């Protein structure tokens, strides 16, 4: 096995604790009873894919969500329920990340969207004394900026090309198996960080 030089991390379930069920429950309280048929960790309705790849704006998303659900919600109600799945950044994982930066070239690749991004970046800054989460990486890639999302191979290929990374000495870590499988298909080394494992359990 080729020695690892670079690591590309996922965000949710790796550094940021998330709970999709909380968003489902929040929408159910607002009268959106079929949210789980629209969005899960493993499936996204086309509306969410458009949001995650930056093809629609935040406000276009709110309008389309109201149209899709036929529920009269305010933008703020949708935003708050949508952000309910975002929990916390355990400090020990961020300390671990700092140690990894001394050994490897670190990158991030997250399927997210501008609404979630604004929320968790603000949260991180508040908890970690004004620090910027992106500064822990050579570059942090977010799907809404890249215009591509996992598990599509062209998303990984775009990052490998831009950073001139050799897949053989690049490790990809994600908590979603189909993302891991996509990275492996391109020749990258991979770790499926399945719960209850955390980065603290890794021997790198």
Of 143, 148, 151, nearest to 178 (Cα)?
151
* Cα 11 to Cα 187: distance, rounded to the nearest angstrom: 21
* Cα 19 to Cα 148: distance, rounded to the nearest angstrom: 23
The whole-model pTM stands at 0.94
Of 90, 81, 96, nearest to 17 (Cα)?
90
* Cα 147 to Cα 105: distance, rounded to the nearest angstrom: 23
Class of domain 20-83: mainly alpha
Best CATH choice for the domain 6-16+89-201 from the list 3.40.50.1000, 1.10.3720.10, 3.20.20.80, 3.40.50.300: 3.40.50.1000
Residue 15: CB atoms within 10 A of its CB come to 22
Q: Which two tokens stand for residue 171?
A: 């490790």
* Cα 52 to Cα 44: distance, rounded to the nearest angstrom: 10
User: Domain residues of the chain, as ranges?
Assistant: 6-16+89-201, 20-83
Give per-residue pLDDT as tens, 7-36: 999 999 999 999 999 999 999 999 998 888
Average pLDDT, the chain: 95
pLDDT at 73: 97
Q: Are the C-beta atoms of residues 163 and 138 closer than 8 Å to each other?
A: yes
Is residue 123 predicted with pLDDT exceeding 90?
yes
Binned at pLDDT 50, 70 and 90, residue 42 comes out as low
Question: Could you check whether the bond before residue 185 is cis, i.e. omega within 30 degrees of 0?
Answer: no
Give per-residue pLDDT as tens, 65-122: 999 899 999 999 999 999 999 999 999 999 999 999 999 999 999 999 999 999 999 9
pLDDT at 34: 85
Question: 24: part of which helix (H) or strand (E)?
Answer: helix 20-29
């Amino acid at each position: 096995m080729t020695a690892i030089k670079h690591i590309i991390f996922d965000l949710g379930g790796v550094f940021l604790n998330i709970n999709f069920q909380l968003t489902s429950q929040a929408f159910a309280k607002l009268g959106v009873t079929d949210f789980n048929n629209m969005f899960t960790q493993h499936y996204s309705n086309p509306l969410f894919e458009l949001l995650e790849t930056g093809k629609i704006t935040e406000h276009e998303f709110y309008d389309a969500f109201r149209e899709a659900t036929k529920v009269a919600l305010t933008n703020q109600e949708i935003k708050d329920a949508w952000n309910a799945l975002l929990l916390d950044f355990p400090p020990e994982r961020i300390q671990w990340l700092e140690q990894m930066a001394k050994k490897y070239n670190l990158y991030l690749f997250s399927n997210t969207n501008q609404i979630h991004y604004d929320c968790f970046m603000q949260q991180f800054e508040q908890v970690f004394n004004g620090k910027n989460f992106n500064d822990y990486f050579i570059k942090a890639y977010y799907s809404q900026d890249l215009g591509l999302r996992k598990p599509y191979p062209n998303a990984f290929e775009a990052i490998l090309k831009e950073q001139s990374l050799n897949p053989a000495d690049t490790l990809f870590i994600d908590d979603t198996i189909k993302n891991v499988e996509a990275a492996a298909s391109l020749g990258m080394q991979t770790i499926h960080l399945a719960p209850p494992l955390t980065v603290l359990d890794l021997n790198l």
